[in-house]
Copies of this chain bind each other. A is one copy, B any other.
Amino acid sequence: MKLPVKTVERLGRYRRLLLKYQYLEKPYIFSRDLARMLNINPVHVRRDLMLLGVSGSHAKGYDVRNLIDQVSIKLECLIKKDACIVGFGHLGRTVFDLFVEGGTPINISAIFDVSPKSINHTYFGVKCYSIEKLEAVISEKKITLAILAFTGDDVDTIKDLLVACGIKGILNLTSQPIDLPGHVHHEEFDLRTSLIRLTYFSDV
């Protein structure tokens, strides 16, 4: 039984904030401080912490390291999932930087691009391959997730290849719509649509 999306998002935010506090001398935190720092309703925070089965002390609050462990277990992110980035322009490099910085539940194990400047180069130990090697590398490295970060109109061709390779989840950052079979999880972010919303709804 999977948790609701909103709960997963909040747990992810707690984890990210807590990771910053874990090396303090006395890493304890009150749920009201967690709520305040993340602009989340304190009632939601307390309910989420109950869901994790952790309890805090009245005097000190919650043990940060224990909280990180429990959130990580709940989000199933103790074992990083193998992912690839398709497209290594600015957007692909943004995702890669997050991975290098740490704290994400993914392990980037391959990068694919079409530019000779990137192909066969290794970035923090991760090799960039020609897009033509997509199927072979995904199969060899048992990659299960893909992040689409290219521009251009090839999204359907790439998507079909990824599905045929047995990819289980796609984060589509291309601003192009894709249609996936039901067994492949689909996350999408479309920066162009965000810019339309920004201009339309801002009172300018």
A residues adjacent to B (C-beta < 8 A): 2-3, 5, 8-9, 11-13, 15-16, 37-40, 75-77, 81, 83, 89-91, 93-95, 97-98, 101, 103-106, 144-145, 147, 151, 168-171, 175, 177-179, 183-185, 187, 189, 191-204
Of B8, B103, B192, the residue contacting A104 (CB under 8 A) is B192
A144 to B198, CA, bound (A): 11
30 residue pairs from A and B, CB less than 8 Å apart = A2-B201, A11-B196, A12-B192, A12-B197, A13-B193, A16-B175, A39-B179, A77-B199, A81-B199, A81-B202, A89-B97, A90-B91, A90-B94, A90-B97, A94-B191, A95-B191, A95-B195, A98-B192, A104-B192, A104-B196, A144-B204, A145-B198, A147-B198, A168-B203, A169-B203, A169-B204, A187-B194, A187-B201, A189-B191, A189-B194
Of B39, B185, B200, the residue contacting A77 (CB under 8 A) is B200
* Contact between chains at B81 and A197 (CB < 8 Å): no
* Contact between chains at A196 and B95 (CB < 8 Å): no
**Which residue from chain B places its CB closest to the CB of A74 in the assembled complex?**
B200
Please, which residues of chain B bring their CB within 8 A of the CB of A175?
16
Please, which residues of chain B bring their CB within 8 A of the CB of A145?
198-199, 202, 204
A124 to B197, CA, bound (A): 25
Please, which residues of chain B bring their CB within 8 A of the CB of A16?
175, 192
* Contact between chains at B76 and A199 (CB < 8 Å): yes
Known: A196-B105, A200-B76. A191 touches B98 (CB 8 A): yes
Please, which residues of chain B bring their CB within 8 A of the CB of A104?
192, 195-196
A169 to B101, CA, bound (A): 29
Of B12, B178, B196, the residue contacting A12 (CB under 8 A) is B196
* Contact between chains at B105 and A168 (CB < 8 Å): no
* Contact between chains at B194 and A171 (CB < 8 Å): yes
Please, which residues of chain B bring their CB within 8 A of the CB of A15?
196
Please, which residues of chain B bring their CB within 8 A of the CB of A195?
95, 98, 104-106, 171
